[in-house]
Amino acid sequence: MAALYNLTAHELSAMLSRQEISARELTESVIARIEAVEPKVRAYLTPTHDLARQQAAEVDERRARGDSLSPLAGIPLALKDILCTRGIRTTCASKILHNFVPPYDATVVSRLREAGAVCMGKVNLDEFAMGSSTENSAFGPSGNPWDVERVPGGSSGGSSAAVAAGEAIIAIGTDTGGSIRQPASFCGIVGLKPTYGRVSRYGLVAYASSLDQAGPMTRTVLDAAMVMNVISGKDPRDSTSVDLPVPDFTQACRPDVHGVRIGVPKEFFAQGVDTAVAQCVREAIETLCELGATAEECSLPSIEYCLAAYYIIAPAEASSNLARYDGVKYGHRSREWAGHIGLMEKTRAEGFGAEVKQRIMIGTYALSAGYYDAFYKRAQQVRTLIRRDFDRAFSQYDVLLTPTAPTTAFRIGEKADDPLAMKLADVCTLPANMAGIPGLSLPCGFIEGLPVGLQIYGKPYDEETLLRVAYTYEQATDWHTRRPAL
Amino acid sequence: MAEYEALIGMEVHAELLTESKMFCGCRNAFGGEPNSRCCPVCIGLPGALPVMNKKAVEHVIRTALALNCTITPNAKFDRKNYYYPDLPKGYQISEYDAPIGVNGWLDIEVDGKETRVRIRRVHLEEDTGKLFHVVGNVSHVDYNRSGVPLMEIVTEFPPDMTTPEQARAYLVKLRSILTYIGVSDGKMEEGSLRCEPNLSVRLRGSETFGTKTEIKNLNSFRAVYRGIQYEVGRQIAMLERGEKVVQETRGWNDAKGQTFPQRSKEEAHDYRYFPEPDLVPLQISEAWVEEIRSTMPELPDAARRRFVQQYGLPAYDADVLTQTRAAALFFEETVRQCNDPKAVSNWMMGDFARLLNAENREIGESRVTPKMLAEMILLIKDGTISGKMAKELFEKMFATGESPRKLAEAAGPQITDSGAIQAIIAKVIGEMPDVWAALCAGDEKKFGFMVGQVMKASQGKANPQEVNRLLRERMQQG
Ligand SMILES: [Zn+2]
């Protein structure tokens, strides 16, 4: 039998409910795996093994009592360290929050806790989710389990690495411009960024409020659906969360794409996209057509301006969201300062990394008097155009298929001196955040031993169609069954 | 000296009377143990999100309607970004270019001359915490006030007010309206109502505007009046000396009666406003506005007119009694129970107001209830107590909250016995025979004086009606 840490949440959930294994056994298996591979993967910033053992024991007790349990009860979980966890350090991979212990749980976290998911710890990310490789983490980059010399993607790279390496069965990531999907692609797992408003942002430390969304990172599509069932739904504490009924997403996981109309936006196969990656994606589209879908090329002309507009809106919101880290209330406080302005200046100079500082400066500039109309306002207008492009496309197609990332995982340090190249890694994923629509990445092949991701875009709040198309493809292929040799 | 005129604008901030804060469930109250009414939202913890308090929005719509504003159907919140330790998020949630109310007005009257003061906007924002500078290099912050709903009311430019008297009248009337409609307690001393006038001076008849200054920390009507008066004088003196007025914010030193520079324009912030992404835009439907309009209480102007008409009060009395809704309600309830409007008005504007002022209390915070005042007035009318006894009794009632009937009984019975009163009258006549002779010779003005002397000699206990009657009787006897 395969090691427990290598199985899917769905398989393990069935074994747990049949009491073939205990949650404690499963947790010990994952802890042992973490101890074995963590020196190479470096996914965890704050492991919580004692808490995990305690939560697993509670699940076992409840099961023994005959309580009805969530399918996620006893499933080992890794949380991106940007979600607030009561009593557990939450750093955002930043020096400025190195000692911050929240007094409350994010809504996503409390829903998973209530479901009985077992928290293995808090995992790495680019500082405040700003980056595509985890290289911007103040605590060092994580390694890609398929090649530890390479990045696991980002910003949710700790989450993707942990799931791919068997250091967690499921993980939660957050996605502001592709931060769930691109690392899922780099690590050969499934990542879903839900529709903006589908999952509560309460307790998700804000990078760009109008773009941020938390979602599942798992080994299979069905696992992602199981997590979605727990974390979705209106939260009275997040005004931007949407009051829509939450379907049983696992019901959408059935192999059926008959009559599904696939649009293939040509802009996503343009320059910068690796030809081998494009080839994998085209083959995946063919596979789906063989299974009963139809596909044709389409166009989203405004996508051309997406990257530029994103790098106005996200930094603008970030410059305001990150203003609260001033050394007054919590987190890092500089030891040398004079006066409260000096305290703030010194604290921020010491606490933030280079990428974060750069984005704060760009955002501050973009919002300044006299520049607002030229930058922020125009970027918002571009956003409207992108949304219209998608609306038009979805009047003709049920889903749009694209590569998730232009390349496979790159080497640690390879793009460190080329910020533009780094940002181009997000070019295929940004539009989902700008338009607020759902996007899913799943493995669709390997190039030189490195996973390639297929991205599926869907209509707002239609995660079900995404899951159905993804599940159908997944069942027809075996990419998701491969495990890295660590 | 050339003739100058001042142009005075006004920014008023009022903390709104709501159960909870603007964007979280913490209780909205004054004072208390520092940082005892705080949560992740109002101290700006990472990840916390605001949720709008509908009641606060309703209060602002109500105010906007009372000030004749147009309601913005798609009002929205914006972030005002600046750094200060009392501002936990590094930005304040406010309203920038789509405030809830716009283009209103308020009519004021000074020395019989009416002026329409146009109001540019009424908007909603959150209050900051409070910073305390402790000795040396240490400061403390209290976030109890952080996130309390705050309403801002701004007059139109160019300003319609030109004198400190008008500015005071505007503020008095505005405060009266806010307390009437129940959105603010109007306490300037506690800072729940804060007023920041801005003003410039220019040569009368000039078409251009002078450089304006803004005055902060004025915490009484008197301070507003004096502050403006001082600042107008200061600016005119500067212009007369050929100096330039500097655009700046000035503080008010009440003890010295002077303004002093606080912050110059060079230090002014670029607030980098942008729409608050954590909140959805407000949808203020016509139905909602109508619902609020239909529950609007009678406003002070209407109440004042009605008091004159219905109760036959002098305009002055009606004006004073309708300045707060609490006073107006107190008056009407008392009249309902004793049916003597003028007597109620006299007590409320006289002894009652004096005692309240001395303790810096509002009418609603007093132990005296309408029932007690009505009962006391009835005791005077039926002759159980004299007016003089009533004055003392009222003070006791104010201090203890004891019912007037009980207090009257405790004070001892009134002297109603004719023989006893006649004896006192005889004694007084014996002490001042000249006055008595003049009265008997037809000098009616001396009658009141004699009554007063008799009452005094009885230590206020004689029944005044009996004193009157017996004095007349004695006069006839010669
Ligand atoms: Zn609070």
ipTM, 2 dp: 0.95
CA distance B247 to A235: 47
CB contact under 8 A, A104 and B89: no
Instruction: Please tell me the predicted confidence (pLDDT) of residue A1.
Output: 58
Instruction: Please tell me the predicted confidence (pLDDT) of residue B419.
Output: 86
CA distance A441 to A160: 12
CA distance A113 to A84: 13
A470 and A456 Cβ atoms separated by less than 8 Å = yes
Of B298, B172, B431, B46, which is closest to residue A329 (Cα–Cα)? Answer: B46
Instruction: Please tell me the predicted confidence (pLDDT) of residue A109.
Output: 98
B89 in contact with chain A, both atoms CB, cutoff 8 A:
yes
CA distance A19 to A14: 8
Alpha-carbon separation of residue A124 from A137, A140, A332, B15, B47 (angstroms): 7, 9, 19, 43, 17
Q: How many CB atoms neighbour CB A329 within 10 A?
A: 16
For B355-394, b/e burial (b = at least 16 CB within 10 A) is: bbeeeeeebeebebbbebbbbbbbbbeeebbbebbbeebb
A225 and A464 Cβ atoms separated by less than 8 Å = no
Mean pLDDT of A365-384: 93
Task: Identify the CATH number of the domain defined by range A4-263+396-481.
Answer: 3.90.1300.10
B26 and B40 Cβ atoms separated by less than 8 Å = no
Ligand 1 being an ion, which residues bring their Cβ within 5 A of it? B 24, 26, 39, 41-42
Instruction: Please tell me the predicted confidence (pLDDT) of residue B264.
Output: 67
Of B39, B10, B46, which is closest to residue B22 (Cα–Cα)? Answer: B39
Measured in angstroms, how far is the CA atom of residue A202 from the centroid of ligand 1? Answer: 14
Residue ranges per structural domain of chain A: 4-263+396-481
The values of phi and psi at residue B474, to 5°, are: -65, -40
* Collapsed DSSP state (helix, strand, coil) of residue B26: coil
Q: How far is A267 from chain B (nearest CA, A)?
A: 29
CA distance B14 to B27: 17
CA distance A160 to A9: 15
Measured in angstroms, how far is the CA atom of residue A328 from the centroid of ligand 1? Answer: 17
Instruction: Please tell me the predicted confidence (pLDDT) of residue A339.
Output: 82
Q: What domains are defined for chain B?
A: 4-288 (no CATH), 298-410 (no CATH), 418-477 (1.10.10.410)
CA distance B429 to B449: 12
B136 in contact with chain A, both atoms CB, cutoff 8 A:
no
Instruction: Please tell me the predicted confidence (pLDDT) of residue A35.
Output: 98
B142 and B34 Cβ atoms separated by less than 8 Å = yes
The three state secondary structure string of B50-78 is CCCCHHHHHHHHHHHHHCCCEECCCCCCE
A–B CB contacts, 8 A cutoff, strictly below: 102
* Collapsed DSSP state (helix, strand, coil) of residue A262: strand
Nearest-by-Cβ selection for A203 from B47, B89, B273 = B47
Tokens read off for B150: 């705050």
Which residues of chain B fall below pLDDT 70? 1, 264-268, 413, 478
Instruction: Please tell me the predicted confidence (pLDDT) of residue B32.
Output: 87
Residues 48-67 of B with CB under 8 A from A: 48-52
pTM, full prediction: 0.88
DSSP string, A79-90: EETTB-BTTB--
Confidence tier at A168 by pLDDT (50, 70, 90): very high
Q: Environment class of residue B200 by beta-carbon count within 10 Å: exposed (0-12), middle (13-18) or buried (19+)?
A: buried
Instruction: Please tell me the predicted confidence (pLDDT) of residue A108.
Output: 98
Q: Which residue has the tokens 């008959």?
A: A258
Q: Which of B26, B41, B49 to mutate to test the interface with A (most CBs of A within 10 A)?
A: B49
CA R_g for chain B: 29
Mean pLDDT of A18-43: 98
The residues of A annotated as belonging to the active site are 80, 155, 179
The β-bridge partners of B140 are B132
Nearest CA in chain A to B25: A237
**A30 pLDDT more than 80:** yes
**A148 pLDDT more than 70:** yes
Nearest-by-Cβ selection for B274 from A102, A206, A367 = A367
The β-bridge partners of B274 are B79
